[in-house]
Structure 1
Amino acid sequence: MAHLIGLQDVRALAGPRILLDEVNLGFDDGARVGVLGPNGAGKSTLLRLIAGTQAPDAGLVTRAEGTRIAMLQQADQMDPQATVLETVHPGKEAFEWASKRANREVHEGLLADLDLNQRLGELSGGQKRRVALAAQLCIEAEVLLLDEPTNHLDVEGVNWLAQHLKNRYQGASKGTGALIVVTHDRWFLDEICTRVLEVVPGVDPGGGRPQIPGRIEQYEGSYAAYILARAERARQAQVNAAKRENLLRKELAWLRRGAPARTSKPRFRIEAAETLINDVPPPRDQVELMRMASARLGKDVLDLENVTLSYQAPDGTENTILKDVTWRLAPAERVGIVGVNGAGKTTLLRLLEGVLEPTAGRIKRGKTVSVAVLSQSTHELDDLLELRVVEAVNQVAASVQVGKKELTASQLVERLGFTKERAWTPIAELSGGERRRLQLMRLLMSEPNVLLLDEPTNDLDTDTLAAMEDLLDGFAGTLVVVSHDRYLLERVTDHQVALLGDGQVRFLPGGVEQYLEMREEAKQADSTSGAASSATKTAEAEATDSPQGDQDASSSGPTLTSQQRRELVKEVARVEKRLNQTQKQAATLEEKLADIANGGTGDLAQTAREHAQLLAQVEELEMDWLELTTQLDEA
């Protein structure tokens, strides 16, 4: 395996804080690495160190000669006046990028619904994010760094990205480069990663004691293997902690046998004991989970009866979100909602909430229903920025009954993961994940019996996500979740429904996998329908003998007879077959080159020449394929 990037004794500072220290990592060809850790631990900093956009404060970062790096950052910095095409393929003509199959796949997976000539300033935030991701995927780089690539992607988009990256990075023998991903999407991690790096944040114990810097812990395997290995490490740490505690007791007992005795003890024993005590790290910040009392929920919850919801677009067209939908939510039902962008998932939640009224039909609400909504953003906290965390919680309720105990706001905040210092921090200074946690805490303290969650995983790290899921496990009411996080949906809901943009609510006995199959079938049906429509137009053109018909045909471009179209389709198939064979031969020679470079037998110069010839053939065949398919599309 070719070595691409290495970090040796690297340190990174964030002001006076030691963010990371003594980081030693290596990335070889074929690596598929996931990076996890709490918000603010230094995950994005680690990517910048690897990319070379941030220099280490100590240590060394090495890169193999000629290694090209592409990086998707969390904040997209793109020219709003540039078009989609100029951003994704800067300075390239159409034939340069369109001749490569990988680029065409990226267009189909991320940009199919966008006008390539539209300016970025006219796009939504989610569309801009997809353009930024597409731009990095189309760069021919040996190392690809992705910082939260699944943000703004729906379930279908996340599934496409996972399959694309798996096909692109097939292992070291393929010579495909290295992939390093920072993400909180656990299903995505489990699909693509073969190694996990956990960024463990540093701790400032205060009292003049030295900082405990952040570090990197490595785990082999996917996310599931990481969880198992981490649990085993925690178990071993508990065993070691128990042994350590016994040793501490003995040392402290020995030191405390009276002042006269203490003065006669060897100094090195006292110093050793003090070092042992000072070296005890603070416990990991954990979110304690609890079941809060909820208002009694009767037999009737929310019933949609023959509901239709439509609105008039600015251009005057009528858009129907729901059409004659009947759907009944039962007490304690737990349902997840998936669907294509624009299908009306958030609109459906607003109907259930009561913010919107249906155009036709009615929504029947139970008498005891108390609804709480977790929106996609945390804008509900914007008017509370001057308040501290405890004050914001106290504003909802001064205390809450948890089991048989009554907890004050300050006690609850501490038990829900905010340290004493963070509990008195102004909301304006909280991270996105902390604001999200506070937002959910305030909702639960209002004691609802129907909880509507709209993309609840935004800005949360994996540990907080796991804690939130356990918290939702204890929620005794009805739960409705809209999310692109497949792991969350399958974890906290009992079944799922889909909105496909046709105004109906489809039940999914097969879960998210069934939804993806339905979407794939719909795409294939659209493709078949488009081909049939094209063939019908061709047949009509052939049957038209009038001069007017000839004029129309000439003005709309060249047409093909049925025989010519069949021959052209056959030629496309032949070129594709030759292209696949040539690509496989080139891949075989790439493996041979790697073997020779690592000490194997063979003529390196001759093999390199043959490999270059095959690459030239691949380029030529790709151009032939592009020209043939263009003829088919235009005919």
Structure 2
Amino acid sequence: MAHLLGAENISVSYGIRTVLDSVSLGLNEGDRIGMVGRNGDGKSTLMRLLSLRTTPDEGRVTKRGDVNIGYLDQQDVLNGDLPVGVAIVGEAADHEWAANPQIREIMAGLVEDVDWHAKVSSLSGGQRRRVALAKLLIEPHDVIMLDEPTNHLDVEGVAWLARHLKERWRPTEGAFLVVTHDRWFLDEVCTRTWEVHDGTVDPFDGGYAAYVLARAERDRMAAVVENKRQQLVKKELAWLRRGAPARTSKPKFRIEAANEIIADVPEPRDKVALSKMATARLGKDVLDLEKVSYTPPPRESDTNDGGAPLFDNITLRLAPGERLGLVGVNGAGKTTLLRLLNGEIQPDSGKVKRGKTVQTAMLTQEVRELDELMDLRVIEVIQRERQVFNVGGREVSAGQLVEQLGFSKEKQWTPVRDLSGGERRRLQLLRLLVGEPNVLMLDEPTNDLDTDTLAAVEDVLDGWPGTLVVVSHDRYLLERVTDHQMALLGDGKLRGLPGGVDQYLQLREEALASGDLKGTTTAPDAASAGSPSAGSPAGAQAGSAAAKSAHTEAEKRQAKKDLNRIERQLTKLTQQADKLKEQMTESGSKADVDFELLADLNKKLQDVAAEQEELEMEWLEASEILE
């Protein structure tokens, strides 16, 4: 494969801290590389160097003369005064870009619901991100570098971008390098992984899952070496304890030998261990939304007096210990729903019932809660909550707690204003947890966090005993920490997703194909190749279904019982299916394979799958009664 660009012995330092130390690597045609590492370890720095946007302190970056590099910055760099159309295609006439099918496909996938004539400054964060992506992707780059491209994108946008990158070039053409915390995205599009850590870059074959397995094996081998070292240390210390006190020369010699053994032990990597906080007791009632409707007030940029309602007669009941994931298109009202649950805004109609013992905490997307604390140091932010905390049955100081979160003793005295985005997010999450809430709401918690920190966050959320509501485009996180998901489809309704995120994407695809759901505004119709539309305000849902007949309270009670029964049966069937698969694997791995047994096990597995499918249909029918 032809070489595109490369780095030779590049080094970068900030003050006394070395971020990259004599790193050499390159990109070839056909490379599909994901870059992972802790916040602050140099991922974005390396990407800027490779894109020739900055120069290293030492070494050099070279590229083939005709290579064109496209770069998506992590920050918003669009001119806010430009109309969306000009920001994407410049002054090009409509027929110039509309004649290209690939450009039409990009426009349809990213900015179909964005007002072509609106100023960039009036767009939401997700819309600006899609405009920036569209501007980059319509250009004929040989190499594309994307720094956190999934930030502010909804699940649908992330899925579209993954599909586009997989289909953009032939397997042996082009290359891209992506920094992202979205592990599903890394697995979906990347064939190689670079881990940036401790001033160096380690390459791994495969996407995120393959990287995790390879790193686990590397850590296992390192643990074996460390175990041998520890055994030697124990022997030396044991000898010291047994040694004759009068024979001072040997103990001194042995002390020196022990020190030599310990001296080359590498510093432990920052271990992010989010501490499990005590949670105030939840009563029987938590948070209920009953027949709630809400229409947001018009923005200054709106040309009409009011838009369609975000929520139209929705009902949501949160149970103690429930773990709910929310997905939906940008602008469908996910954040607004959290604000309703948190009591920040009130509905136009309907009721919000709050249990007497409920204590909520909400992590916002922008971490605005730290704005007033910018001059405080990390340790001071936590000390303002309390000086001593109870963690795992023992008391720890604020300093010990902050260090467990990954802030070293030196970092604890860093002002909040000097922290990276990911570090601020970690600090605010810890600040919320030490407040001992029993209902935790997280709005896009994965933004700006590295994959190691995400794993630590997931670990603490696994054991967190309160009620959890998560809004996220990160499919990996949703499936990892929530028990079930619900969707806002942009039609004012809230719908359950027994099939998870895959079902949501299928529903959106079917709705868009049938015209049941439309975006608020549209880009120019590329097929017309010349007559741009003005981008009209959102109308009501087209072709809405006939009103459903009301169900009696007795029917709803029966539906609830059916749902509980079906869920228990589905759990048992899943366990049966797992057991049958294990038996098939065990039988198939034997030297003398029993094909009759395999056929019998396979038939049983098919019967279980058919029963599961039948129960899932019953579940859907019962859930519709409760909607």
TM-score range, shorter chain: 0.7 to 0.9
- Cα 1:325–1:85 change in 2 (3 A) is closer
| TM-score for the superposition, normalised by structure 2 | 0.76
Q: For residues 37-83 of structure 1, give each alpha carbon's deviation from its aligned partner in whole angstroms, at most 9, with x where no partner exists.
A: 11111111111221122223323433223111111111233333333
1:102 aligns with 2:102: yes
Q: Measure how far apart 1:500 and its partner are.
A: 1.3
3-state SS, counterpart of residue 309 of structure 2: strand
1:190 match: 187
Q: Tell me, yes or no, if the aligned pair for 2:320 and 2:466 is still in contact at 8 Å.
A: yes
Structure richer in helix, relative to its length: 1
2:214 match: 229
- Whichever of the two has the greater Rg, that structure is 1
User: Residue 517 of structure 1: which of 502, 506, 525 is its match?
Assistant: 506
3-state SS, counterpart of residue 22 of structure 1: strand
Moved more, 327-336 or 73-82: 73-82
Q: Tell me, yes or no, if the aligned pair for 1:310 and 1:359 is still in contact at 8 Å.
A: yes
3-state SS, counterpart of residue 219 of structure 2: helix
- Cα 1:357–1:119 change in 2 (3 A) is closer
Letter of the 1:197 counterpart: W
| TM-score for the superposition, normalised by structure 1 | 0.75
Q: Measure how far apart 1:125 and its partner are.
A: 3.4
Letter of the 1:124 counterpart: S
- Cα 1:18–1:318 change in 2 (3 A) is closer
Q: Tell me, yes or no, if the aligned pair for 2:275 and 2:404 is still in contact at 8 Å.
A: no
- Cα 1:77–1:275 change in 2 (3 A) is farther
Q: Tell me, yes or no, if the aligned pair for 2:310 and 2:491 is still in contact at 8 Å.
A: yes
Q: Measure how far apart 1:499 and its partner are.
A: 0.8
Q: Measure how far apart 1:416 and its partner are.
A: 2.2
3-state SS, counterpart of residue 441 of structure 1: helix
1:338 match: 327
**What is the rounded CA distance, in whole Å, between the counterparts of 1:310 and 1:77 in structure 2?**
31
1:295 match: 280
3-state SS, counterpart of residue 396 of structure 1: coil
3-state SS, counterpart of residue 320 of structure 1: coil
Percentage of identical aligned residues: 55
2:130 match: 130
**What is the rounded CA distance, in whole Å, between the counterparts of 1:528 and 1:463 in structure 2?**
38
2:67 match: 67
3-state SS, counterpart of residue 305 of structure 2: coil
1:286 aligns with 2:275: no
1:502 match: 491
Letter of the 2:175 counterpart: A
Q: Tell me, yes or no, if the aligned pair for 2:512 and 2:518 is still in contact at 8 Å.
A: no
Letter of the 1:146 counterpart: L
**What is the rounded CA distance, in whole Å, between the counterparts of 2:6 and 2:119 in structure 1?**
39
Q: Measure how far apart 1:477 and its partner are.
A: 0.9
Correspondences of 1:398-409 after superposition (within 5 Å):
398-409=387-398
Letter of the 2:36 counterpart: L
- Cα 1:53–1:130 change in 2 (3 A) is same
Letter of the 2:514 counterpart: A
1:152 aligns with 2:152: yes
1:353 aligns with 2:338: no
1:178 aligns with 2:175: yes
Q: Measure how far apart 1:290 and its partner are.
A: 3.8
Q: Measure how far apart 1:487 and its partner are.
A: 1.1
Aligned length: 511
**What is the rounded CA distance, in whole Å, between the counterparts of 1:392 and 1:65 in structure 2?**
51
Q: Tell me, yes or no, if the aligned pair for 2:34 and 2:192 is still in contact at 8 Å.
A: yes
1:550 match: none
Q: Measure how far apart 1:186 and its partner are.
A: 0.8
1:473 match: 462
1:35 match: 35
3-state SS, counterpart of residue 332 of structure 2: coil
Q: Measure how far apart 1:166 and its partner are.
A: 0.8
Q: Tell me, yes or no, if the aligned pair for 2:511 and 2:517 is still in contact at 8 Å.
A: no
Q: Measure how far apart 1:35 and its partner are.
A: 0.5
1:119 aligns with 2:116: no
1:309 aligns with 2:309: no
1:484 match: 473
- Cα 1:43–1:275 change in 2 (3 A) is farther
Q: Tell me, yes or no, if the aligned pair for 1:290 and 1:474 is still in contact at 8 Å.
A: no
User: Residue 218 of structure 1: which of 197, 203, 209 is its match?
Assistant: 203
Q: For residues 94-113 of structure 1, give each alpha carbon's deviation from its aligned partner in whole angstroms, at most 9, with x where no partner exists.
A: 33322222111111111112
Q: Measure how far apart 1:280 and its partner are.
A: 2.5
Q: For residues 425-465 of structure 1, give each alpha carbon's deviation from its aligned partner in whole angstroms, at most 9, with x where no partner exists.
A: 22222221121111111111111111111111122111111
Q: Tell me, yes or no, if the aligned pair for 2:204 and 2:211 is still in contact at 8 Å.
A: yes
2:530 match: none
The gaps in structure 2 that reach 5 residues or longer are 520-627
**What is the rounded CA distance, in whole Å, between the counterparts of 2:260 and 2:52 in structure 1?**
38
Q: Tell me, yes or no, if the aligned pair for 1:169 and 1:179 is still in contact at 8 Å.
A: no
- Higher relative CO (Cα under 8 Å, sequence separation at least 6) belongs to 2
Q: Measure how far apart 1:527 and its partner are.
A: 8.5
